[in-house]
A = this chain, B = another copy of it.
Amino acid sequence: MSAISNNAGGCLYLIPNFIGTLPWEYQFPEHNKRIIRSLRYFIAEDLKACRNLLKQAEYPDISQAKIEEYNEHFFDKDISYLLQPLNDGHSVGLISESGVPVLADPGDDIVKLAHQKNIPVVPLIGASAVLLSVMSAGLNGNNFAFNGYLPVEKSEKIRKMKELEQLSFHKKQAQFFIETPYRNQKLFSILLQILQSTTLLSLACNLLNDNPFILTKTVADWKKLPIPDIHKKPCIFGILKM
């Protein structure tokens, strides 16, 4: 690494945040605490969630942490100042509101810039709802895609669902996606209406909360069950047409 790295020792750490309500010892390796405590500079999707993570990591004095916000409300085109501390040899931690940075969250631009500047990128281990869902779905863990959010507009949404169902069949590729939580129940109803009866539909909801819910059934079998209560709960959907 040293042959192609020109920074003076700083790294961009990708630091997972909590998902659900379970405490530290369920969610993160102990090592993450050491890294968090060693840092002074952070880029946070959400200030409050970042401070909570620092607190749980027993950060010595949170008022001394330099936290810059970076999320969908960030309009500055030049993001290079976020990595400025690295020029002075300080490491920087990137922290999402929930789960791992970048995956279904902001941060790609920052990581990309780090690579351009030959800054080492060091991902830490933690929970990703997408990863836990792929593991638990029993669809296809050797060939899968995460498609982010479905379109908001209904006809577009239906077109996309059907496209993903066909794609899953032709490529034998499990297709995962998410929805804004208050629309989950509606999305699930539409999925049951438009997907074919033999298509496998996977639902991973409320992971790392007290009441997680992970289940994969054919559309035909889902229709025989009571409708699961997924309203406003964080949820990952997966499909595979057999």
Contact = CB atoms under 8 A, between A and B. Distances in A.
Given A25-B30, A31-B25, A136-B123, A105 B141 contact: yes
Contact of A173 (B103, B109, B145): B145
Given A4-B215, A30-B30, A115-B216, A148 B139 contact: no
Interface string A133-173: 01111111111111110000000000000000000000001
A114 B126 contact: no
Given A100-B135, A138-B108, A126 B125 contact: yes
Contacts of A103: 131, 134-135, 141-142
Contact-size category for A? 35 or more
Interface of A: 1, 3-4, 14, 22, 24-31, 100-105, 107-115, 120-123, 125-128, 131-132, 134-148, 173, 200, 207, 211-217, 225-226
